[in-house]
């Protein structure tokens, strides 16, 4: 499908706004506040010019959107993906604002992206692209302004290049300009697996409040990148049975369970989960139809739609990805009594440990992995029960409850600060 068709069919910005409008009505916000919260504070669009290895010059579209900075510096990842478009980045920036507020960490929300397929670039081209993109947005980022982190298609190495470019421009080292850095440059222990780990903590909380029998729980995961694979490993270690995982090329299934550590070795060798020996290949689209207890969408937005929602048999959906479920799918899932742990709660572990990394960097004192994980558990559990209480008291679904918590906290901050001048 061409990108413009994707944009029209399921515009994630329109969907995010629609959900926000619903929440703002429930919160009885004034019209001015509503307008304010809908509008990103700053949108930056840049041409990222790169000299390729063969001497050709290519130009990639790059974006950075800062949605809100009332509760602290803007915070959010940078995505390298061939389908990146401005409305997507706007939506993801807004979701970061609500996510940081739900987690109770002192950041606003932002997101960046470059429309590029990183797997088609050499390492040198990727470095040049990253440094040029950083240069183009350099006035707008900084440890007190806007702090990038990894997202789909980026990693600790990309963060190291951003940090180096920014530091050279300033004339001194500024590790706090990014999080998700390599440990050797001031990264935090536990950051790499933090989104997956936080997702698992939220699943454990969901199991506690539901009456699901917790023996032999079957898990299906869409996406086997950083988030999906780490969630798989942690759940596997806890005794959950991972029966299927998938990536862009397709899925693998074994009703007796799959060892994610071995699947990862297979991915390292072959580039995909498919054709893993101890499982059968299935179509990627079939992953949602499998008989399981917990379904974890850990890939991109717009995956659970009106078209497939009624086929889902899971009792819990843990949204490790951002915006994986469309609003019309939500209705179907609600009718089928499926418990949803919404994205801005479920995947908040990544940005939470980003916050810990930022704090450790400021103190120049680094925590043990045990401390990082314990603190992460505290933040995730607190956020879960705060959302769950709103869900129970206000008789709204978990997504609306999370939104009420996040949007409410941001609206309070806006009101307290007032409007300048």
**Closest distance of CB 137 from ligand GLU, Å:** 15
Give me the least distance between CB of 83 and ligand GLU, in Å please. Answer: 16
Measured CA to CA, the distance from residue 118 to residue 121 in angstroms comes to: 5
Q: Which of 347, 360, 400, 403 binds ligand GLU (CB under 6 A)?
A: 347
| Binding residue for ligand GLU, selected from 89, 351, 390, 414, defined by CB under 6 A | 351
Judged by beta carbon, residue 246 or residue 322, the one nearer ligand GLU is 322
Contacts of residue 19, defined as CB under 8 A and 6 or more positions apart, other chains included, come to 327, 399, 403
Query: Cβ closer to ligand GLU: 76 or 118?
Result: 76
Regarding 361 and contact with ligand GLU (CB under 6 A), the answer is no
| Least distance (Å) between residue 323 CB and ligand GLU | 10
Comparison of 98 and 276: residue with beta carbon closer to ligand GLU: 98
Residue 295 Cβ vs ligand GLU, minimum distance, rounded to whole Å: 19
Using CB under 6 A as the binding rule, whether residue 149 contacts ligand GLU is answered as yes
Considering only the stretches 121-129, 253-261, 327-335, 350-358, report the one whose residues sit in contact with ligand GLU under the rule CB under 6 A.
350-358
* Three-class SS of the chain: CCHHHHHHHCCHHHHHHHHHHHHHHHCCCCHHHHHHHHCCCEEEEEEEEEECCCCCEEEEEEEEEEEECCCCCEEEEEEEECCCCHHHHHHHHHHHHHHHHHHCCCCCEEEEEEECCHHHCCHHHHHHHHHHHHHHHHHHCECCCEEEEECCCCCHHHHHHHHHHHHHHHCCCCHHHCCCCCHHHCCCCCCCCHHHHHHHHHHHHHHHHCCCCCCCCEEEEECCCHHHHHHHHHHHHCCCEEEEEEECCEEEECCCCCCHHHHHHHHHHHCCCCCCCCCEEECHHHHHHCCCCEEEECCCCCCECCCCHHHCCCCEEECCCCCCECHHHHHHHHHCCCEEECHHHHCCHHHHHHHHHHHHHHHCCCCCHHHHHHHHHHHHHHHHHHHHHHHHHCCCCHHHHHHHHHHHHHHHHHHHHCCCC
Kindly state the smallest distance separating residue 197's Cβ from ligand GLU, in Å: 13
Q: Binders of ligand GLU among 2-61, rule CB under 6 A?
A: none
Q: Least Å distance between CB 112 and ligand GLU? A: 10
Q: Binding string to ligand GLU for residues 58 to 87, with x set by CB under 6 A, is what?
A: -----------------xxx----------
Residue from 251, 350, 361, 408 that binds ligand GLU (CB under 6 A)?
350
Please say which residue, 76 or 342, places its beta carbon nearer to ligand GLU.
76
Number of chain residues interacting with ligand GLU (CB under 6 A) = 11
* Pairwise CA distance, residues 43 & 385, whole Å: 34
Q: Does 322 bind ligand GLU (CB under 6 A)?
A: yes
In the chain, what is the greatest distance between 2 CA atoms, to the nearest angstrom?
65
Question: Does residue 392 carry a catalytic annotation?
Answer: no
Does 354 interact with ligand GLU (rule: CB under 6 A)? yes
Residue sitting closest to ligand GLU (CB): 77
Smallest gap from residue 380 Cβ to ligand GLU (A): 13
Distance CA 86, CA 364 (A): 36
The single residue of 90, 99, 111, 315 carrying the catalytic annotation is: 111
Q: Is 151 a binder of ligand GLU (CB under 6 A)?
A: yes
Nearer to ligand GLU, 128 or 322 (CB): 322
Q: Does 179 bind ligand GLU (CB under 6 A)?
A: yes
Closest separation in Å from C-beta 159 to ligand GLU: 10
Q: Do 145 and 74 form a contact (C-beta atoms < 8 A)?
A: yes
Which positions touch ligand GLU (CB under 6 A)?
75-77, 149, 151, 179, 322, 347, 350-351, 354
Active site residues: 111
């Amino acid at each position: 499908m061409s990108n413009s068709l994707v944009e029209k069919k399921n515009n994630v910005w329109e969907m995010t706004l629609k959900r926000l409008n619903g929440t703002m009505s429930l919160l009885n916000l004034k019209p001015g506040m509503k307008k304010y919260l809908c509008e990103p504070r700053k949108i930056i669009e840049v041409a990222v010019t790169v000299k390729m290895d063969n001497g050709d010059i290519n130009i990639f579209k790059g974006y950075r959107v800062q949605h809100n900075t009332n509760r602290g510096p803007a915070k959010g990842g940078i995505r390298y993906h061939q389908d990146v478009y401005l409305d997507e980045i706007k939506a993801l920036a807004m979701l970061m604002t609500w996510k940081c507020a739900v987690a109770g960490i002192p950041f606003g929300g932002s997101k960046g992206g470059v429309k590029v397929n990183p797997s088609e670039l050499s390492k040198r081209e990727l470095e040049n692209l990253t440094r040029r993109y950083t240069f183009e947005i350099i006035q707008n980022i900084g440890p007190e302004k806007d702090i990038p982190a990894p997202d789909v298609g980026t990693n600790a190495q990309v963060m190291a290049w951003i940090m180096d470019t920014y530091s050279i421009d300033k004339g001194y080292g500024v590790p706090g300009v990014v999080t998700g850095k390599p440990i050797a440059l001031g990264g935090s222990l536990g950051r790499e697996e933090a989104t997956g780990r936080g997702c698992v903590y939220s699943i454990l909380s969901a199991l506690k409040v539901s009456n699901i029998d917790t023996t032999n729980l079957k898990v299906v995961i869409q996406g086997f990148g950083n988030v999906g694979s780490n969630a798989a490993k942690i759940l596997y270690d806890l005794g959950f049975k991972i029966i299927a995982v998938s990536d862009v090329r397709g899925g693998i299934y074994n009703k007796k369970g799959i060892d994610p550590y071995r699947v990862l070795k297979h991915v390292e060798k072959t580039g995909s989960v498919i054709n893993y020996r101890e499982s059968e290949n299935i179509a990627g689209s079939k992953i949602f139809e499998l008989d399981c207890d917990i379904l974890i969408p850990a890939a991109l937005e717009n995956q659970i739609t009106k078209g497939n929602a009624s086929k889902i048999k899971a009792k819990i959906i843990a949204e490790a990805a951002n915006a994986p479920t469309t609003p019309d799918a939500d209705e179907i899932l609600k009718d089928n009594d499926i418990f949803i742990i919404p994205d801005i709660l479920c995947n908040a572990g990544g940005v939470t440990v980003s916050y810990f990394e930022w704090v450790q960097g400021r103190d120049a004192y680094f925590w043990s992995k045990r401390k990082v994980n314990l603190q992460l558990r505290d933040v995730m559990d607190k956020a879960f029960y705060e959302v769950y209480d709103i869900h129970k008291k206000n008789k709204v679904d978990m997504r609306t409850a999370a939104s009420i918590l996040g949007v409410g906290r941001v609206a309070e901050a806006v009101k307290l600060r007032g409007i300048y001048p």
